[in-house]
Structure 1
């Protein structure tokens, strides 16, 4: 119930954001007398605003009327943060905030006071008339931090399975690659990461540099061009007691766990919860010593794990190295009654690095986190992860699919859902797979293999395996994996929770 309430509140906040009316609507008219002049259009920004988004339109284009657009803060051209940008006529929608801004505009603090849309009118015919309208939105909290839907419309509006990589690094932290000449290693530009992700056939990536939010401004420049790949703002909260990815929040977050301001991980997680962010513990089973200080999950004090939404069960190639796999850590949390979604991330630090195989592809997208979402947008992807509608494609293919559903009477559940099933009820489980012929499904009940008489070998490229499991009326979780012919882990499914 707690998880369901949290999902409802977060989903409501994002849906409300998409439908919110503008905070200000400004109208005006111009005529031929305004040719080659500037006009100031003031509007008041109240205290507490963290982002300003403007949508600007005007009539008369068929008569070659042109209105250019700029933005001034309360200090106008006099103050250090007064001039906030000039796009000419190139932008119909733009945003400014402390962390990022639409290209042509400058990020910086949003000071309360009188701001100004600066209009330049390079051309309007002597006998022409035109009107303009500016819709202005104010973000006041983290739930609206990335901006209204007019600024970030869904890249696709269809519901479906979307493939992505939730963990990667570039020039904004410790990601590096060879320079253009190949002569030296340099901080790896963000666009290389994005291009390689697109080449891998991914639908979304989360750009998760260590503790910083500087990459968000670059994302504003790249996203309009990469209109087939969703760029999700993220960061890897990197502490001396473990790492975790924070998705969907652009405000700086104090990451100094064990300091006076952040005494422990629970304090940090409570702050993140107030920002409506999604948090995922990264590579929990890693050395925590001089080889990789702080990489393993090693909190000095107990952590309220109800404040965590996901676990990076597969990091890079660690599914091939059982002693580094995060799956046992994740399953232990499930056995304690927590509903935490298993995700995967490449943890890529070199966008140009490829698999050590002939014709090897980029390591970005290995593994791939596959999310069932209502559309391809940041709110929808994060809601899908919160709901547990996720599987991990360990090798990062373009076409493998793992779906599991469970039915008891008239009740139906998919991965991440809860299913009531009274004692003696036959729970019908169906596992649908694609592109896994020759491999084998396996079932895991409460962390242990579930022995069945059903044939779980996969014989076709599109196949559904099914069986009935008798409920004992107690709490359980049940999930599926797929393994290759040599026993290698290929697919990791999230659980259906029974009698939760």
Structure 2
């Protein structure tokens, strides 16, 4: 488009590594208060490696981001599709592509627009399923969507967590257990800030393992569940499951061959945290970590007892500081 500069789809990055990013961001091109330039600088200050621009029902801002990309900073093009009965994120769409929003649950239209995003190589995210405002409640089934945004930061400026996020996390956790048991497939979780105002960017964000810092690799990592959610870049979590010299990380599958499995979460940056391990049987173990904010929580299980295991890290207040996607046990 004349006069516009779109960001490249690949940055040099660090090769195969864990990358931090916020995939739900608004600028002055819709209803945010910050310019793309301000957002890019805030993202770097927040320790992010990538962000996605997701203006409401518009691609108007896509061409404002090209000059803001860097060798170590990726910008993903997207849209927040604000329908009449729920919002969703179209991530990785083509420059200038606009996804239609004028429909509602029950009219049979949404699948064609999900297909449009998938045909462009993009990712469809069910956004803030229990947002406390008209059209914010997500009334579509999760089927057809690739990912669920279980942690949205827009309404948590005075605290890192709220009841709407708690409800979204619980709903996703229930669907996770049902999906894995019945179909063997599952839908990952992610967290984003939904930035509109100063001070929101990166709270929370998603930490993704990607083969490179590119739109395709980042979306592949999110789609596969090789990711976890952090309230800030100060929080570090390493989550693994191992059996007889073999191990798997978040989003991976571990063949146990009927042997006991050692589960471990290494946590940094959350003073006096409580780590809970959750499976298809609900919460199965909790462990308190030291006041200095660094520690290891461990637990043992079997594939017979646990179809999957995931971890949550909470502050003493009960607010979530980090949560992971599952490790699947077979």
What is the TM-score with the length of structure 1 in the denominator? 0.58
How far the C-alpha of 1:368 sits from its partner, in A, is 1.9
Match of 2:297 among 460, 465, 472: 465
Contact 2:90 2:124 in 1 (8 A): yes
**1:271 aligns to 2:92 (yes or no):** no
Indicate the SS of the match to 1:249.
Answer: coil
What does residue 83 of structure 2 align with? 239
From 80, 93, 108, the counterpart of 1:249: 93
Q: CA RMSD in A?
A: 2.7
Change (3 A) 1:199 1:240: same
* 1:295-335 per-position Cα deviation (integer Å, ceiling 9, x unaligned): 11013xxx461x32211111015553224432112112212
Q: Once the 2 structures are TM-superposed, how far is the Cα of residue 470 of structure 1 from its aligned partner?
A: 2.7
Aligned to 2:196: 349
Measured after TM superposition, the shift of residue 409 of structure 1 is 4.2
Cα 1:297/1:467, change in 2 over 3 Å: same
Query: What is the CA distance between 1:459 and its match in structure 2?
Result: 6.3
1:203 pairs, out of 39, 45, 49, with 49
CA spacing shift, 1:284–1:217, aligned 2, 3 Å: same
Of residues 173, 180, 187 in structure 2, which corresponds to 1:331? 173
**Mapped pair 1:491 → 2:322:** yes
Specify whether residues 468 and 324 from structure 1 end up closer, same or farther in structure 2 by C-alpha distance, changes over 3 A only.
closer
| Residues 390 and 99 of structure 1, relative CA distance in 2, 3 Å threshold | farther
Of 310, 315, 320, the match for 1:479: 310
SS in 2 for 1:320: coil
Q: In the alignment, what sits opposite 2:250?
A: 415
Shift of 1:429: 1.1
1:243–1:297 CA contact under 8 A, matched in 2: yes
Alignment map for 1:107-256 (pairs within 5 Å): 152-176=9-33, 188-223=34-69, 226-250=70-94, 251-256=97-102
Q: Is the 8 A contact 1:99 1:214 kept in 2?
A: no
| Residue 475 of structure 1: how far off its partner (Å) | 6.5
Provide the residue aligned with 1:374 in structure 2: 211
Deviation at 1:467, TM superposition (A): 2.9
Deviation at 1:249, TM superposition (A): 0.9
Confirm whether residue 308 of structure 1 aligns to residue 145 of structure 2.
yes
Find the residue that maps to 2:56 and give its secondary structure: coil
Counterparts in 2 of 1:392 and 1:99: CA distance versus 1, 3 Å: farther
Gaps of 5+ in 2: 180-184
Distance 1:211 1:331, change over 3 A: same
Change (3 A) 1:459 1:265: same
Q: Secondary structure of 1:167's partner?
A: strand
SS in structure 1 of the partner of residue 322 of structure 2: strand
Corresponding residue for 2:182? Answer: none
Distance 1:234 1:411, change over 3 A: same
Compute the displacement of 1:284 (Å): 0.1
How many residue pairs match? The answer is 318
Q: Deviations over 1:29-78 (max 9, x none)?
A: xxxxxxxxxxxxxxxxxxxxxxxxxxxxxxxxxxxxxxxxxxxxxxxxxx
Offset of residue 383 of structure 1:
1.5
CA separation in 1, counterparts of 2:251 and 2:51? 22
Partner SS state of residue 198, structure 1: helix
Match of 1:433 in 2: 267
Q: 1:283 maps to what in 2?
A: 128
Tell me what 2:280 maps to. 446
| Counterpart among 392, 400, 419 of residue 229 in structure 2 | 392
Structure-2 change in CA distance of 1:244 and 1:464 (3 Å) = same
Pair 172,434 (structure 1): closer, same or farther in 2 beyond 3 Å = same
Give the C-alpha shift of residue 101 in structure 1.
4.8
Structure 1 portions without partners, runs of 5+: 1-97, 104-145, 177-187, 354-361
- In structure 1, distance between residues paired with 2:13 and 2:285: 41
> Structure 1 294/100 Cα, relative in aligned 2: closer, same or farther at 3 Å?
farther
Q: What is the CA–CA distance in structure 2 between the aligned matches of 1:329 and 1:268, rounded to whole Å?
A: 24
TM-score, normalising length: structure 2 = 0.86
